[in-house]
Structure 1
Amino acid sequence: MTLDYPQPDGVAPGNGYSHVVTGAGQWVAISGQVALDADGTFVGVGDPAAQAEQVFANLERCLATTGATFENVVKLTYFVTDIGYLPAVRTVRDRYIPGPKPASTAVQVVALFSPDALLEIEAFAIV
């Protein structure tokens, strides 16, 4: 499976993400993941870095069920309750995705489904 990261003419390069990612294969959509462990208990209440670690671990487990890895991810959408959490989230992301970055969207939201949830991330991949 090969993904391509073309840079569109006339569009400033993304800082930590790609504007366009293409590839051929099976499309995989992963629902937004929050910092819940296998027992449904929140990890890192009040700590965006700890929550990001749990969220990316959950995404990795979800990807694995389809035979995918983070190398197959073409799009991430970040929902954060405070845009100031993004540096911590990106630090964790960079450990899980050290190479070319997928297309991404980050949105600050008023709230998520639980007041303990500081962030939620959904992913799309091609396997």
Structure 2
Amino acid sequence: MSQLSYPTPQGVAAGNGYSHVVTGTGRWVAIAGQVALDAAGEVVGAGDPAAQARQVFANLDACLAAAGATFADVVKLNFYVTDLAILPAVRVARDEHVDTANPPASTAVQVVGLFRPELLLEVEAYAVVTD
């Protein structure tokens, strides 16, 4: 687990469910964008934002574990959604995995589409791990 710091920038409005700044020292881990595909490559929860978000965060968890990291080490999450209206479902899944008192920095972007039309979101993560 890394030692992370969450400084509060002067003159910037507080984030809602995310931190503006996260710092830490250690080994950098980049997790490619994860989508709602299971281990067999099948879409989980076609048309269901909550089911897709749960699968995406399960995939992120597995990727972090493979790197010797946990969600406690995550410093940044980037969300790509096909419709901003699904963000509440995504936030529920996110909040089951991150420390909501010290959440990672975050960006959310609405995109025209992902590589398969039934996918609603993609999330990439960056972590800092102290070995």
Q: How far does the alpha carbon of each residue in 1:22-62 deviate from its partner, in whole angstroms, 9 at most, with x for none?
A: 00000000000000000000000000000000000000000
Equivalent position of 1:102 in the other structure: 104
Equivalent position of 2:113 in the other structure: 111
Alignment of 1:18-33 (within 5 A): 18-33=19-34
How large is the RMSD of aligned CA atoms in angstroms? 0.6
Greater percentage in strand: 2
Structure 1, unaligned runs of 5 or more: none
Equivalent position of 2:127 in the other structure: 125
Equivalent position of 2:91 in the other structure: 90
Q: Which amino acid aligns with 1:35?
A: A
Q: How far does the alpha carbon of each residue in 1:6-36 deviate from its partner, in whole angstroms, 9 at most, with x for none?
A: 0100001100000000000000000000000
Show structure 1 runs of 4+ deviating over 2 A: none
Q: Which amino acid aligns with 2:78?
A: T
Matched, 1:17 2:22: no
Q: Which amino acid aligns with 2:30?
A: A
Provide the TM-score with structure 2 as the length reference: 0.95
2:72–2:99 CA contact under 8 A, matched in 1:
no
Structure 2, unaligned runs of 5 or more: none
- How many residue pairs match? The answer is 127
- 1:87 positional shift: 0.4
Provide the TM-score with structure 1 as the length reference: 0.98
- 1:98 positional shift: 3.3
Alignment of 1:61-80 (within 5 A): 61-80=62-81
Q: Which amino acid aligns with 1:121?
A: V
For residues 98 and 40 of structure 1, the distance between their equivalents in structure 2, rounded to whole angstroms, comes to: 29
- 1:97 positional shift: 1.0
- 1:107 positional shift: 0.2
